[in-house]
Amino acid sequence: RGIMVNRAWGAPSQQLHERHDASDFENTTQDKLNPEKSEG
């Protein structure tokens, strides 16, 4: 989990730009925030 926080590169499912709660790891990774970009 610590590797994912503030990460802005790599697979969108492994990017968590901001963490405010433990549930952010499940709900707010970049693939979930921008689904149209992660399908490629």
**What pLDDT sits at residue 19?**
76
Domain residue ranges of the chain, discontinuous segments joined by +: 1-40
**What pLDDT sits at residue 1?**
58
> How many of the other CB atoms lie within 10 Å of CB of 24?
16
| Sequential DSSP letters for 11-35 | -GGG-BS--SSTTHHHH-SHHHH-H
**What pLDDT sits at residue 37?**
64
Q: What is the pTM of this model?
A: 0.46
Which residues, other chains included, contact 24 with Cβ-Cβ below 8 Å and sequence gap of 6+?
16, 18
Mean pLDDT of the chain: 76
Specify the amino acid at residue 10: G
**What pLDDT sits at residue 28?**
85
Quick one: average pLDDT of 8-37?
79
